[in-house]
């Protein structure tokens, strides 16, 4: 039989005879006009037999397919049905997956998911966080049992104080004005409680210390942390500080940029609400913004801060004044450091030869000469403004309205978040171990720990395989890289200590919380945070302790601890569910695990050895080849532009996002290998009901749908200017463009958008 047709007519003729081929049988017959009745009957019978044979063949093929389907089967459990519905609901099958896999996997989700007026963006992470916040909300609102730990009661009281809008309105700005008096007043307010601000009394050291007490790290950031070159001890660090706007690049625009003017207007308006003369406030705030723009210009860009060795500049305390002259400003390095560590809540003696790591020498070389261009009034106005900006959000509605006007311009949000969301988020951020205890008891499936440990083991095995195929590595480096991977600590779900009442209470013992005084509670919390940043300076490092809130929807890698962490909050759909197909778990939490493992070997993590020490454990030749490989990724991601910003000329920053892009690419490759190994050991999984995609394809669909999201133009600008992660669209597209496994799973032709000829790889 022909491979193309069941039968066909030959073009050749033999007199009046035509020839029909049917299988291996050749039948000759005369022209119809010359056939006998018997011949016609025989021909009809033969043709009927041919049709029967074809029908039987089709039936056999269908039965064979059904038998194969019965062998594989269809999963009809509730979890599989719900999962299939969730996957299908997001897909846009009008898009060819090889043309744009992000739009294919997320297109319908994007069309049907509206960004609420109180948000600048929405994505799957945000959806899961919303679900976690709802759980925490009703847990915090529950009545306290008699045996409730004090720490949990404090968390509930903090929530109550945040939700009590009537009392917040009654208190007004009284507590904030007390704070202002404690700091010496705000010059642009003028006479304050009968006292005029006097520039002759201005002392930069004392004001910095006063702000540091409330965790406002203005002009410089100082804290105690694990020594990068001796991860068993702690040391003091000093670094450049953050800004009032989201990042330095916001200040490097035209002076009349809409966002800069919105920031200036916010400062002026808050000052007026606190009693400033409008004209004075306008002039003073203009000078404040000018100062902050100049500070942004001398700040070291993040692109130049990826070499941790260059950030490690160790020197004794007494050398700070020699290396970073203060330009005759009223500031003393020794008084500042000793004053911070000798505060009432810390009480640590600091000798003048105390070692300190300076992470931004170039910034401090230019800081004081930049400040000297401005008078004391402007410097003081700037510093007090920064704490007023932070705390105005804790005041009455008139202040929150001013902040909302600012947020609408910077982030595109036209309404504030629901009050309960703000309060729940604040409590979970600052009493995360207490709220985590409630969340774990309510929502965490303990079996997720063992499942995640098994996944981690499988992912590490995949990483070992990738090490063997890294042709830019030499054998010596490959051996130590394998050792580092095997040495990674695994922290999953939550720290067991939070279930111990005594230990949990001790963590929050120094924080006083009153259900009736919200701003006072906030000041107590931030004072404790500031003290905690120094308290453990003299204590040995305990790498088994982790303080991440269990109800956190995220995952982490810590270089100096060589540790991966997966809090309880992320161990749920769409990342993980114990009853859904492994393909989706490996595409979800599996890729996240691989991502965090790979962070230990990205452009920054690879600078630390297995013990978390900053040391060159690779040869110069291997480092050079590593840099060559990573440049491919820098170039690839730097060419991506968000649809929301096609007219802005803003591309993804391939340098700032490099570490995350390395982790995304490595994590995907590791997890797919681990999944295929699981299939080889356990057999093919049952299909999801109603879906035509096999599980290799579902792996990549599950991975991509984790990153479904939408954002406003303002949010897109923020993501590009400040983000270390590529936008979700390009976490999918960029990673899959480099994946041969993906192109094979979806049969994407080489040269298509999702299967370009040039691919970047590292791990």
| Active site residues per annotation | 596, 664
DSSP state of 26: E
Return the closest-CA partner of residue 390 out of 165, 180, 167. Answer: 180
Q: Is the distance from CB of 763 to CB of 463 less than 8 angstroms?
A: yes
For residue 303, the tally of other CB atoms under 10 A from its CB is 11
DSSP state of 590: I
Helix (H) or strand (E) holding 240: strand 230-240
Token pair for residue 574? 């769409």
Return the closest-CA partner of residue 300 out of 290, 289, 313, 311. Answer: 311
What pairing do the DSSP bridges indicate for beta strands 18-22 and 25-29? antiparallel
Q: Is the distance from CB of 498 to CB of 436 less than 8 angstroms?
A: yes
Give the integer Cα–Cα distance in Å for 191 and 269: 18
Return the closest-CA partner of residue 498 out of 552, 443, 569, 435. Answer: 435
How many residues can be counted in the chain? 763
Q: Is the distance from CB of 87 to CB of 688 less than 8 angstroms?
A: yes
Token pair for residue 181? 């008096």
Return the closest-CA partner of residue 715 out of 728, 704, 705, 702. Answer: 728
Secondary structure class of 29 (helix, strand, coil): strand
Q: Is the distance from CB of 169 to CB of 419 less than 8 angstroms?
A: no
In order of 156, 160, 205, the CA distances from 516 in angstroms are 12, 8, 34
Contacts 24+ apart (CB under 8 A), 4-7: 6/50, 6/54, 7/50
What pairing do the DSSP bridges indicate for beta strands 121-123 and 709-711? antiparallel
DSSP state of 22: E
Token pair for residue 506? 């001790």
Token pair for residue 394? 């804790």
What is the CA angle 282-283-285, rounded to 5? 65
Q: Is the distance from CB of 581 to CB of 701 less than 8 angstroms?
A: no
Describe the crossing of helices 333-341 and 204-213 by its angle, rounded to 10 degrees. 20
Return the C-alpha torsion angle 166, 170, 174, 175, nearest 10.
-30
């Amino acid at each position: 039989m022909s491979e193309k047709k069941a039968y066909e007519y030959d073009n050749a003729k033999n007199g009046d005879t035509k020839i029909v081929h049917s299988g291996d049988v050749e039948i000759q017959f005369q022209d119809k006009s010359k056939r006998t009745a018997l011949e016609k009957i025989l021909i009809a019978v033969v043709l009927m037999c041919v049709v029967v044979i074809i029908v039987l063949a089709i039936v056999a093929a269908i039965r064979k397919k059904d038998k194969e389907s019965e062998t594989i089967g269809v999963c009809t459990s509730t979890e599989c049905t719900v999962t299939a519905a969730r996957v299908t609901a997001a897909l846009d099958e009008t898009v060819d997956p090889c043309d744009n896999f992000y739009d294919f996997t997320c297109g319908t989700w994007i069309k049907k998911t509206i960004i609420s007026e109180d948000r600048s963006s929405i994505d799957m992470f945000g959806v899961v966080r919303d679900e976690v916040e709802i759980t925490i909300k009703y847990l915090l609102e529950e009545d306290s049992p008699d045996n409730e730990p004090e720490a949990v009661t404090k968390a509930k009281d903090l929530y109550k104080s945040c939700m009590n809008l009537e009392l917040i309105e009654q208190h007004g700005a009284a507590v904030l004005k007390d704070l202002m008096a404690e700091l010496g007043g705000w010059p642009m307010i003028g006479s304050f409680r009968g006292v005029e601000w006097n520039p002759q009394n201005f002392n930069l050291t004392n004001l910095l210390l006063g702000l540091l007490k409330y965790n406002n790290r203005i002009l410089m950031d100082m804290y105690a942390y694990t020594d990068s070159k001796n991860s068993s001890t702690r040391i003091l660090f000093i670094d450049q500080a953050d800004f009032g706007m989201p990042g330095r690049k916001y200040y490097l625009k035209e002076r009349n940029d809409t966002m800069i003017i919105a920031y200036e207007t916010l400062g002026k308006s808050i000052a007026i609400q606190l009693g400033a003369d409008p004209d004075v406030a306008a002039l003073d705030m203009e000078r404040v913004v000018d100062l902050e723009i100049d500070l942004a210009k001398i700040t070291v860009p993040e692109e130049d801060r990826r070499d941790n060795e260059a950030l490690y500049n160790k020197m004794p305390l007494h050398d700070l004044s020699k290396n970073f002259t203060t330009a005759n400003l009223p500031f003393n390095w020794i008084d500042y450091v000793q004053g911070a560590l000798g505060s009432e809540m810390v009480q640590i003696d600091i000798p003048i030869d105390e070692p300190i790591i300076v992470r931004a020498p170039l910034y401090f070389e230019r800081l004081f000469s930049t400040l000297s261009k401005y008078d004391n009034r402007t410097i003081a106005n700037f510093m007090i403004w920064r704490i007023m900006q932070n705390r105005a959000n804790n005041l009455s509605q008139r202040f929150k309205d001013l902040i909302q006007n600012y947020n609408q311009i910077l982030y595109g949000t036209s309404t504030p978040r629901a009050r309960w969301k703000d309060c729940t988020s604040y409590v979970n951020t600052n009493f995360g171990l207490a709220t985590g205890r409630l969340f774990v008891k309510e929502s965490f499936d303990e079996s997720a720990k063992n499942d995640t440990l098994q996944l981690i083991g499988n992912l590490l095995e995949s990483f070992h395989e990738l090490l063997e195929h890294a042709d830019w590595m030499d054998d010596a480096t490959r051996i130590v890289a394998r050792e580092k991977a095997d040495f990674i600590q695994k922290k999953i779900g939550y720290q067991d200590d939070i279930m111990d009442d005594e230990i949990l209470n001790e963590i929050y013992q120094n924080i006083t919380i009153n259900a009736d005084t919200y701003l006072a509670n906030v000041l107590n919390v931030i004072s404790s945070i500031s003290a905690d940043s120094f308290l453990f300076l003299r204590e040995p490092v305990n790498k088994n302790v982790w303080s991440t809130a269990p109800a956190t929807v995220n995952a982490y890698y810590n270089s100096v601890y060589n540790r991966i962490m997966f809090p309880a909050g992320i161990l749920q759909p769409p990342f993980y569910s114990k009853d859904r197909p492994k393909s989706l778990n490996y595409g979800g939490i599996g890729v996240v695990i691989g991502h965090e493992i790979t962070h230990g070997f990205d452009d920054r993590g690879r600078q630390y050895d297995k013990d978390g020490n900053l040391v060159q454990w690779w040869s110069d030749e291997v480092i050079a080849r590593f840099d060559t490989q990573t440049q491919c990724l820098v170039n690839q991601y730097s060419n991506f532009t968000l649809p929301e910003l096609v007219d802005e000329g803003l591309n993804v920053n391939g340098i700032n996002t490099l570490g995350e892009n390395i982790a995304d690419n490595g994590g995907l490759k590791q997890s797919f290998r681990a999944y295929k190994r699981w299939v080889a050991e356990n057999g093919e999984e049952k299909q999801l009901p109603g879906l035509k995609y096999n599980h290799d394809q579902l792996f990549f669909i599950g991975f991509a749908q984790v990153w479904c999201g939408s954002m406003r133009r303002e949010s897109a600008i923020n993501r590009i200017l400040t983000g270390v992660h590529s936008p979700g669209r390009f976490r999918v597209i960029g990673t899959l463009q480099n994946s041969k496994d993906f192109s094979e799973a979806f049969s994407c032709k080489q040269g298509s958008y999702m299967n370009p000829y040039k691919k970047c790889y590292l791990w």
